[in-house]
């Protein structure tokens, strides 16, 4: 399989979550060599893209509709990498507490889900932008 690269910039609005999520689903369905459940992978990519983008839109960019979110997806034979860029203050991925199932709260599950479903997750703070990098092995 040749590499696939998708690089897309959308306005900082939650209405575009569905578009980006569906691109993730469509890509998962194209991965003929993926040995796992492709429909499960389609849901997972939809989800991690939705969660990462929603974080950028709401927390990094405070729903400022004048900003944009850049999403880059790169797939080669062995792995898939998703990058979601933001121009916010940034945060420390390691300082986020895991959710407590016995004390269910309404917020704070997004990054937990991303870390659960992806093999590697990294957040790089930088100027002028930060990037959340998520990798998943396909073999």
Partner 1 sequence: MQIQTETRDGNLVLSVQEPRLDAHNSDELKDYIAKLLEGNESRLVVDLSAVRFIDSSGLGALLSGYKNANLHRASLVLAGLQPRVQAMFELTRLNRVFEIYRDVDEALAGH
Q: Does 106 bind partner 1 (CB under 8 A)?
A: yes
Q: Does 93 bind partner 1 (CB under 8 A)?
A: no
Q: What is the DSSP string of the chain?
A: ---EEEEEEEES-GGGHHHHHHHHHHHHHH-TT--S-HHHHHHHHHHHHHHHHHHIIIIISTT-TTSEEEEEEEE-SSEEEEEEEE-S----GGGPPPP-TTS--SS--HHHHHHHHSSEEEEE--SS-EEEEEEEE--
Q: Does 101 bind partner 1 (CB under 8 A)?
A: yes
Q: Does 51 bind partner 1 (CB under 8 A)?
A: yes
As measured in angstroms, the least distance from the Cβ of 105 to partner 1 is: 8
Cβ proximity to partner 1: between 40 and 76 the closer is: 40
Q: Does 21 bind partner 1 (CB under 8 A)?
A: yes
């Amino acid at each position: 399989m040749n590499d696939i690269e998708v690089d897309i910039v959308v306005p900082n609005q939650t209405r575009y979550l569905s578009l980006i999520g569906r691109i993730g689903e469509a890509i998962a369905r194209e991965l003929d060599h993926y040995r796992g459940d492709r429909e499960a992978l389609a849901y997972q990519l939809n989800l991690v893209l939705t969660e990462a983008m929603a974080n950028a839109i709401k927390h990094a960019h405070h729903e400022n509709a004048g900003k944009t979110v850049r999403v880059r997806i790169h797939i080669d034979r062995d792995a898939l990498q998703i990058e979601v860029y933001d121009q916010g203050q940034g945060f420390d991925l390691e300082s986020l507490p895991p959710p407590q199932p016995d004390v269910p709260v309404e917020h704070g599950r997004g990054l937990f889900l991303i870390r659960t479903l992806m093999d590697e997750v990294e957040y790089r703070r930088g100027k002028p932008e930060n990037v959340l990098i998520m990798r998943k092995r396909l073999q």
